[in-house]
Structure 1
Amino acid sequence: MRGALFGKLLPAVPAEHRAIVAAAAGTGLRWGECAGLAWGSVDLDRAVLRVVQVAVETHGGIVVRPYPKTRADVRTVPMPAFLVAELRQRRGDTEPDPRALVFADRDGGPLRRSNFRRRVWLPSLVRAGLLGQVVEVGPGRWRAVWPGRAGVELSVEFGTEQAAAAQVATEAVGGLRFHDLRHSYATWLVTDGVPINLVQRVMGHEQASTTLDRYTHTPDDYADRVRRTFADDPLTFEPPERPQGPDDPSSDAS
């Protein structure tokens, strides 16, 4: 997944939205935490961000609320270099209002998740080759191929690549979810040897068991990894010499 993120997905995301995808993949923030992130909570010089509020979608709209759910959700998260670079570019040379949202819509309000998924996320997956396929089959002819329900593959031809990609983005079943970036982030940390208690802290979990149960998985080569732990510890050894005494039947004394 890490190779797909940097080699396929991020290049396929429109530049104006690339930073929010980088934030989810590089810090493990939930959608609401990304949407509610303000510039005042971002320290680019120290490469950390502070999670203190969340955007919540309600029937009446989207509201930004102080975090909340548990004390563990309020946390400081280190930012990788690629995310710092994206946020520096997004911020520009001017100092933003600390209350302004980092990932705001055109009116300065929080992004709506459903709109982002439909307009940005799914089309980006299609362009990245991570959801369905768009194949040129002739001059001015493009075939859209996508997975339907019950595993049935469907396809339709269109006159433009854009129309074919839009069809896949609209109709395809399955595909990577935005929340899967959070899952991948935690898995990368654990796989790279970051202690579980530290992963727990940056993920905002109260219990380490939550981190282990939800965001780690058993690698395909787990059996070989277990065996390699003992590879240098053969069970062939010389038995210790027993001291011989007058009562030892193996003694030469008579």
Structure 2
Amino acid sequence: MGNCTDAVDLDKRVVRVVRTIIEVSGRTSFKPFPKSRAGRQEIPLPSWLVPILREHIEKYPPNSDGLIFTNEAGTPLRRTSFRGRIWKPSLVRAELLGEIVFDDDWFEGRWVDNDGRKHVQRFDTYRQVVSHVARFGAEGITFHDLRHSYATWLVDDGVPINMAQRVLGHENASTTLQLYTRRTVDHERILKALDGDDGDPA
């Protein structure tokens, strides 16, 4: 979460990776560049995200370093705080981690822990059940999972590998192909290719 205002161009709809935040023994600091020259990429922003970022910046002005996303004290978000207070609760609300069942008088949380055990518990409020499932539920989706999905979607939508490579910040296109893409199965396209354009075996 090391994005500063000098690295975000909302008019051009890009985010430039020019620094990262490292955390050692609970203390955070800026690192000037990512781990390689290829890591200094520009990432395109979808059009729907631009007004959301503008509203966020207007509502929560960046700190003195220009950092866009901070904690209540205006300092960088620590990994553990972001994961526990923002990321995992968001997964629960999006129905990507556990399950919440509503009733007139209670909220029932259902989740699986890291050991694979299933749990069911009722709570008085929605906030309570979200917090509990987020805290005790399994890991859920990670940022690495998002990178994998993003790369796969780019390739499936016909984006050339070399372009996906630049956006992902890989030194070699082979990394993009081998580690970050798993083509989704499209049986209709495969069957058409096997049968030929006219539907008869080629």
Q: TM-score range by the shorter chain?
A: 0.7 to 0.9
Q: How does 1:12-91 map to 2 (within 5 A)?
A: 35-59=1-25, 61-91=27-57
Task: Report what 1:162 is aligned to.
Answer: 127
Contact 1:38 1:98 in 2 (8 A): no
Q: Per the alignment, in what secondary structure is the counterpart of residue 135 of structure 1?
A: strand
Structure 1, unpaired ranges of 5+: 1-34, 237-254
Contact 2:3 2:69 in 1 (8 A): yes
Change (3 A) 1:235 1:60: closer
Moved segments of 4+, more than 6 Å = 93-98
Q: Per the alignment, in what secondary structure is the counterpart of residue 151 of structure 1?
A: coil
Task: Report what 1:114 is aligned to.
Answer: 80
Change (3 A) 1:95 1:131: closer
Q: How does 1:86-235 map to 2 (within 5 A)?
A: 86-92=52-58, 99-137=65-103, 139=105, 141-221=106-186, 223-229=187-193, 231-232=196-197
Shift of 1:201: 0.2
Q: TM-score, normalised by structure 1?
A: 0.70
Tell me the distance in 2 between the aligned counterparts of 1:155 and 1:94.
Answer: 37
Return the letter of the residue paired with 2:148: H
Tell me the distance in 2 between the aligned counterparts of 1:197 and 1:98.
Answer: 37
Return the letter of the residue paired with 2:140: G
Shift of 1:142: 2.5
Shift of 1:224: 4.1
Shift of 1:211: 0.8
Shift of 1:202: 0.7
Task: Report what 1:9 is aligned to.
Answer: none
Tell me the distance in 2 between the aligned counterparts of 1:164 and 1:93.
Answer: 28
Q: Per the alignment, in what secondary structure is the counterpart of residue 143 of structure 2?
A: coil
Tell me the distance in 2 between the aligned counterparts of 1:43 and 1:224.
Answer: 40
Percent pairwise identity: 44
Tell me the distance in 1 between the aligned counterparts of 2:171 and 2:14.
Answer: 21
Structure 2, unpaired ranges of 5+: none
Shift of 1:216: 1.1
Contact 2:22 2:30 in 1 (8 A): yes
| Higher RCO by CA contacts (8 Å cutoff, separation 6 or greater) | 1
Q: Over alpha carbons, which structure has the higher Rg?
A: 1
Shift of 1:155: 0.9
Shift of 1:95: 9.1
